[in-house]
């Protein structure tokens, strides 16, 4: 069974032989233009010994050429290669020691059963953030999207009631807007 490094060396030797037919055909056809045979041979000799940098340059060049050739149809392949390379990088790097004080607060089935369907009112989210902030964390990160207005906000309720029935409710100006409450909780956290 051939090891991947042996296969790489064989491929380099086959591709980069200065006396090979490929180099002579390229020069004879004028593809390499005004480069002299001596300059071409020295370039081939430089490339002949594979190392990580040269392999990287060759790989990037090939991928860039394929990208230019394939356009948008090739981008899915680049994404797959990029994902694989990132996976390898994380596998090869050393583990980063942590203080062990990282806590992830997740919304699970028990929470949904207790507090109701998602999305929860912004006031509930503000309460939860307040409880988390009581622990004096260094940082709080939120990975959620609030794409729609809070359906349980008093101002939202007044707008819907007026639109559907024509009945106008006079709410005090300082009445709660749940989005503002959540924004204040995030700012205070």
Determine the Cα–Cα distance for residues 65 and 145; give it in Å rounded to an integer: 39
Tokens of 129: 């953030």
Residue (of 17, 67, 70, 65) closest to 45 by Cα position: 17
First to last CA, the chain: 59
CA distances from 54 to 58, 67, 149 (A): 6, 20, 54
Position with higher pLDDT, 60 vs 17: 60
Residue appearing with tokens 């006396």: 19
| Cα within 13 Å of Cα(9), Cβ side | 6
pLDDT band of residue 32 (cuts 50, 70, 90) is: very low
The structure's pTM equals: 0.42
Tens of pLDDT, residue by residue over 44-84, are: 776 776 677 777 777 888 877 777 776 666 666 667 778 88
Q: What is the pLDDT of residues 120-171, one digit of tens each?
A: 888 888 888 888 888 888 888 888 887 777 777 777 777 888 888 888 877 7
Q: Where are the domains of the chain?
A: 4-92, 109-188
**CA 174/CA 165 separation, integer angstroms:** 24
- With a CB cutoff of 8 Å and minimum separation 6, the contacts of 111 are none
């Amino acid at each position: 069974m051939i090891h991947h490094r042996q296969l790489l060396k064989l491929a380099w030797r086959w591709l980069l032989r200065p006396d090979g037919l490929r180099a002579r055909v390229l020069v004879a056809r004028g593809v390499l233009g005004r480069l002299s045979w001596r300059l071409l041979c020295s370039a081939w000799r430089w490339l002949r010994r594979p190392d990580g940098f040269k392999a990287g340059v060759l790989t990037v060049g090939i991928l860039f050429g394929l990208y230019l050739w394939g356009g948008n149809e090739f981008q899915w392949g680049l994404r797959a290669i990029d994902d694989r390379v990132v996976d390898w990088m994380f596998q090869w790097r050393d583990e980063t020691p942590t203080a062990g004080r990282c806590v992830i607060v997740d919304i699970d089935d028990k929470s949904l059963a207790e507090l109701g369907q998602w999305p929860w009112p912004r006031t509930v989210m503000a309460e939860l953030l307040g409880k988390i902030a009581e622990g004096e964390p260094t940082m709080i990160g939120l990975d959620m999207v609030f794409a729609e207005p809070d359906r349980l906000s008093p101002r939202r309720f007044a707008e819907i009631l007026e639109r559907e029935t024509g009945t106008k409710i006079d709410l005090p100006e300082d009445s709660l807007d749940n989005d503002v409450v959540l924004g204040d909780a995030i700012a205070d956290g």
